[in-house]
Amino acid sequence: MNLLSTLIIVPLITSFAILFFRNPKHVRVVALAGAAVQMVLSFVLLYLYMQERNAGNTAKMLFEERYSWYSNFNIEFYLGVDGISIAMILLTSFVVLTGILFSWNVEDKAKEFFFLLVFLSVGAYGFFLSLDLFLMFFFLELAVIPKFLLIGIWGSGKKEYSAMKLVLMLMGGSALVLIAILGIYFNSIGTNGGHIYDLISISKQHIPIEAQRIFFPLAFLGFGVFTAIFPFHTWAPDGHSSAPTAASMFLAGISMKLGGYGCLRVATYLMPEAAHEYSSIVIVLATIAIIYGAFATMMQKDLKYINAYSSVSHCGFVLLGIGMLTQVSMTGAVLQMVSHGVMTALFFAAIGMIYNRSHTRMVADLGGLLKTIPFISAVIFIAGLCSLGLPGLSGFVAEMTVFVGSWQNPNTFHRIATILGCMSLVVTAVYVLRALGKSVMGPIENEHFLHLKDARWNERLASAILIIAILAIGCAPFWLNNLITPDTHSIMENISRAGIGQ
């Protein structure tokens, strides 16, 4: 059974099936059906994976599929999953499904909109599934250009500028990734004497330390741009805030995770020695992103900008967890990716719902929404509380794991970075509570708000799905933790082997 390629083919077929429908109502139903099938498949994958692991299968990657593609360069269509990729695939299927539900009322060029949205998810699924560097790069770039059109056509505000900025910066990042991939390729040795792109075989080899010193920063920075690493984070606020709701959800929820996953799987996993050497730089950049993102959020007046800057801050935790190079911190990084993906998707969705009704996103203009649209207000409150790390919700679990993992490094530098990271949580609490308090609570100042209608069925359903996911991670973190831990462990093995070599 070719489960993994099915996971790529289903969204691909969905996106092209959409093109055959004219009526927006049919289009969105097709898109939803495709996303629902995909979600079911993701759970089937999770179930089968758990079964295999419980049955004692300790292979690094399961359900592998490989077909030769460009055999002259040893490029293969090579798919496989471990716990980390399954977590990311589940996240993607959640965000895409709910994104479609939240865009239910898109009428303008609906066909193109849903086509691009689903096509974008092909890139994300492919990226998380592929085990061939070329294939990864292919899917990484595949997931960039549709964003340009999504933001530029259906966005709001200075959308053309934001779309262009976002795409150029992300493509700049992927250009760095390209060089890094070529560098890894030309330093690898395949079984037939040529070079290889096969990620698993390369991980067993030893890339010369001189090459690692050059290509690790390139790979990490390149993927880091996707994760909004400081100082290449500037695309994120503009892009997020101009994008239509579903695209914002996708951008913050999945696209930024492409970078984190790449940093982990390509940069750190394949070049462990360099990861050791550069870890302090990574930590410094990540800490700056956390602190800077948090303080920048304090200054924002627009709800979308608030969430966008806080995404920069939260994704800093992902990079911090990777940079700390302990097993717990890495698990925390992956947890944070999933948690932030779900949380930020919910946050953007709630902002989108508010914006659709009140036609403003400015905190100062809002107020008293809890009285007129209680459901949406509750949703945005849950998202906000998750963002500030309230126990019982997913954010707490993830951030706590990162901090515990970071603290395991017993020297002053790592401790200071950890403490600084922890302190940002206070700032987070300030901006989240202030923004939500002002916009959701308090008296209704604008008469227009008295006639707002609360969430419709599609919005309620989608919000419920995301809230369940947040609670599932927050209240019962062990299942996700157990899923991820064996694989972060194997990444750590690679790193500690390199550490001994030093």
- Of 208 and 392, the one with the shorter C-beta distance to other proteins is 208
Considering only CA atoms, which of 403, 406, 408 is closest in space to residue 422? 403
- Angstrom distance (rounded) from CA 469 to CA 475: 10
Is there binding between residue 191 and other proteins (CB under 8 A)? Answer: no
Considering only CA atoms, which of 258, 251, 256, 249 is closest in space to residue 101? 249
- Of 74 and 287, the one with the shorter C-beta distance to other proteins is 74
- Of 69 and 375, the one with the shorter C-beta distance to other proteins is 69
Binding mask 113-152 for other proteins (x = CB under 8 A): ---------------------x--xxx-xx-xx--xx--x
**From the CB of 201, what's the least distance to other proteins, in Å?**
18
**Binding span for other proteins by CB under 8 A among 164-172, 272-280, 367-375, 460-468:** 164-172
Phi, psi of 289 (to 5 degrees): -60, -40
Residues 10-69 that bind other proteins (CB under 8 A): 69
- Of 159 and 340, the one with the shorter C-beta distance to other proteins is 159
Residues 215-274 that bind other proteins (CB under 8 A): 218
Can you tell me whether residue 20 is helix, strand or coil?
coil
Residues 165-184 that bind other proteins (CB under 8 A): 167-168, 171-172, 175-176, 178-179, 182-183
Joined together, the tokens standing for residue 166 give 């976002």
- Of 12 and 435, the one with the shorter C-beta distance to other proteins is 12
- Of 138 and 407, the one with the shorter C-beta distance to other proteins is 138
Residues 418-437 that bind other proteins (CB under 8 A): none
- Of 145 and 298, the one with the shorter C-beta distance to other proteins is 145
Joined together, the tokens standing for residue 96 give 């895409």
CA 119 from centre of chain: 17
- Of 108 and 447, the one with the shorter C-beta distance to other proteins is 108
The residues with which 361 forms a beta bridge, in sequence order, are none
Phi, psi of 313 (to 5 degrees): -65, -45
Q: Give, as one character, the DSSP assignment of residue 19.
A: T
Residues 204-223 that bind other proteins (CB under 8 A): 214, 218
**From the CB of 277, what's the least distance to other proteins, in Å?**
19
Encode 200-215: b = buried (16+ Cβ within 10 Å), e = exposed.
bbbbeeebeeebbebb
- Of 160 and 365, the one with the shorter C-beta distance to other proteins is 160
CA 375 from centre of chain: 26
Phi, psi of 409 (to 5 degrees): -75, 115
Q: Give, as one character, the DSSP assignment of residue 447.
A: G
Calculate ∠ Cα 367-371-376, nearest 5°.
Answer: 80
- Of 149 and 484, the one with the shorter C-beta distance to other proteins is 149
CB 501 within 8 A of CB 271: no
- Angstrom distance (rounded) from CA 438 to CA 451: 19
Instruction: Give just the sign of the alpha carbon dihedral 201, 206, 207, 212.
Output: positive
**From the CB of 452, what's the least distance to other proteins, in Å?**
30
**From the CB of 354, what's the least distance to other proteins, in Å?**
25
- Of 45 and 176, the one with the shorter C-beta distance to other proteins is 176
- Angstrom distance (rounded) from CA 473 to CA 385: 14
**From the CB of 178, what's the least distance to other proteins, in Å?**
5
**β-strands 75-81, 62-70 pairing:** antiparallel
**From the CB of 139, what's the least distance to other proteins, in Å?**
8
Q: Out of 54, 55, 56, 72, name the contact with other proteins by CB under 8 A.
A: 72
| CB-CB neighbours of 390 under 10 Å | 16
**From the CB of 197, what's the least distance to other proteins, in Å?**
10
Applying CB under 8 A, the site for other proteins has a residue count of 36
Is there binding between residue 186 and other proteins (CB under 8 A)? Answer: yes
- Angstrom distance (rounded) from CA 430 to CA 264: 31
- Of 69 and 355, the one with the shorter C-beta distance to other proteins is 69
Q: Give, as one character, the DSSP assignment of residue 69.
A: E
**From the CB of 165, what's the least distance to other proteins, in Å?**
10
- Angstrom distance (rounded) from CA 90 to CA 484: 13
**Binding span for other proteins by CB under 8 A among 96-104, 161-169, 306-314, 352-360:** 161-169
Q: Where are the beta strands (DSSP E) in 197-329?
A: none
Q: Out of 164, 420, 422, 471, name the contact with other proteins by CB under 8 A.
A: 164
| CB-CB neighbours of 3 under 10 Å | 16
Joined together, the tokens standing for residue 159 give 């959308």
Amino acid in position 315: C
**From the CB of 373, what's the least distance to other proteins, in Å?**
32
**In angstroms, how far is the first alpha carbon of the chain from the final one?**
43
**Binding span for other proteins by CB under 8 A among 71-79, 96-104, 248-256, 455-463:** 71-79
**From the CB of 241, what's the least distance to other proteins, in Å?**
17
Is there binding between residue 185 and other proteins (CB under 8 A)? Answer: yes
**From the CB of 77, what's the least distance to other proteins, in Å?**
9
- Of 49 and 114, the one with the shorter C-beta distance to other proteins is 114
Can you tell me whether residue 198 is helix, strand or coil?
strand
List interacting residues with other proteins (CB under 8 A). 69-73, 75, 134, 137-139, 141-142, 144-145, 148-149, 152-153, 159-160, 163-164, 167-168, 171-172, 175-176, 178-179, 182-183, 185-186, 214, 218
